[in-house]
């Protein structure tokens, strides 16, 4: 069975991921068959100036026509960077008529952090069962006005991550109360401000959805800023 991201009529076979939700730009591309690369740049406020230049250079020797889907970090994160990455991904997907997967910044960190997640795409029984996967993964990330973004995920070998508590902005006190009353053991991860390195996780999580038949339209890709609820999230 060919698990590369292509259908019977298309020669497109690469997935491309963008992560612009922090001070780092992260780009990753893969055909999930041995040809993969990932790179990060600490651009901070120069992201707007250099994003498209780095993107055009990074994708070579592949071309836009080689892409089967695009993945993008949807936040939480910096407002301007998150918006820029989302607009870029949506525009490319619309022009190329390909799906775009919007992946939580916190979910990408959760997928990358526990050691057992780093090879989950290749895990086979009995390695992937019998309680060997990590405990629940709680993530917290600074937000504006003294608040925090919090979320809890668990690893699932078939579908990537299971969202146990969705990305939410709250006071530190409310988050601590949530953790104190959590009914299972958890690993707490404090998410930093440089997250471009997790772009490969954004791509892997999108690929898992692709393999399960998901083909989200570009118009369904919405950012998560956390200051107000976004329809469908």
Cβ-proximal residues to 179 (8 Å cutoff; 6+ apart), any chain: 138, 186, 188
For residue 178, give the 3-state DSSP assignment: helix
* Residue whose structure tokens are 């990358």: 112
**Strand segments (E) across 133-185:** 136-142, 148-156, 160-170
Residue 56 has φ and ψ, to the nearest 5°, of -65, -40
pLDDT at 177: 96
- Average pLDDT on 68-72 reads 97
pLDDT grade for 118, boundaries at 50, 70 and 90: very low
* Structure confidence at residue 188 (pLDDT): 93
Residue 189 CA to residue 151 CA, distance in Å, equals 10
Strands 24-30 and 36-42 come out as antiparallel
Q: Distance between the two ends of the chain, CA-based, in angstroms?
A: 33
Task: Indicate whether 8 pLDDT > 90.
Answer: no
Q: Spell out the domain ranges in the chain.
A: 14-220
Pinpoint the alpha helices (H) of the chain: 47-59, 79-96, 105-112, 172-180, 199-211
Query: pLDDT exceeding 70 applies to what percent of the chain?
Result: 82
* For residues 217-226, average pLDDT: 91
**What is the CATH code of the structural domain delimited by 14-220?**
3.30.420.40
- Ranking 7-16, 67-76, 102-111 by mean pLDDT, the lowest is 7-16
C-alpha closest to that of 132 among 116, 112, 118, 109: 116
- Range 121-139 average pLDDT: 53
| Mean of pLDDT over the chain | 84
- What pLDDT is recorded for position 156? 74
List pLDDT tens digits, range 74-117: 999 988 999 999 999 999 999 999 999 999 999 999 998 754 44
Give me the pLDDT at residue 144, please.
87
* Confidence at residue 227, expressed as pLDDT on a 0 to 100 scale: 58
Q: Are 146 and 171 in contact (CB under 8 A)?
A: yes
Mean pLDDT of 203-213: 93
CB within 8 A of 147, min separation 6: which ones? 169, 170, 171, 172
What is the spatial distance between Cα 34 and Cα 3, in angstroms, rounded to a whole number?
12
Q: Does an H or E element contain 181, and which?
A: none
Query: How confident is the model at residue 5, as a pLDDT?
Result: 64
pLDDT category at 134 given cuts 50, 70, 90 is low
| 159-194 tens-digit pLDDT | 678 999 999 999 999 999 999 999 888 999 999 889
Encoding tokens for residue 164?
């146990």
């Amino acid at each position: 069975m060919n698990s590369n991201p292509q259908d019977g009529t298309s020669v497109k076979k690469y997935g491309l991921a963008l992560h612009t939700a922090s001070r780092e730009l992260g780009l990753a591309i893969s055909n999930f068959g041995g040809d993969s690369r990932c790179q990060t740049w600490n651009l901070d406020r120069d992201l707007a100036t250099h994003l498209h230049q780095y993107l055009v250079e990074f994708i070579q020797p592949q071309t836009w026509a080689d892409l089967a889907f695009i993945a993008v970090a949807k936040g939480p994160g910096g407002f301007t960077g998150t918006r820029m990455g989302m607009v870029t991904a949506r525009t490319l997907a619309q022009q190329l008529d390909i799906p775009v997967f919007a992946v939580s910044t916190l979910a990408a960190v959760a997928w990358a952090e526990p050691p057992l997640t780093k090879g989950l795409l290749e895990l086979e029984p009995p390695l992937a069962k019998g309680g060997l996967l990590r405990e629940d993964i709680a993530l917290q990330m600074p937000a504006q006005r003294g608040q925090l973004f919090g979320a809890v995920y668990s690893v699932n070998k078939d579908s990537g991550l299971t969202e146990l508590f969705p990305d939410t902005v709250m006071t530190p006190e409310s988050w601590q109360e949530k953790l104190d009353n959590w009914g299972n053991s958890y690993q707490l991860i404090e998410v930093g401000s440089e997250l471009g390195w997790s772009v490969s996780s954004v791509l892997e999580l999108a690929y898992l959805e692709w393999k399960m038949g998901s083909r989200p339209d570009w118009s369904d890709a919405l950012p998560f800023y956390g200051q107000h609820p976004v329809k469908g999230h």
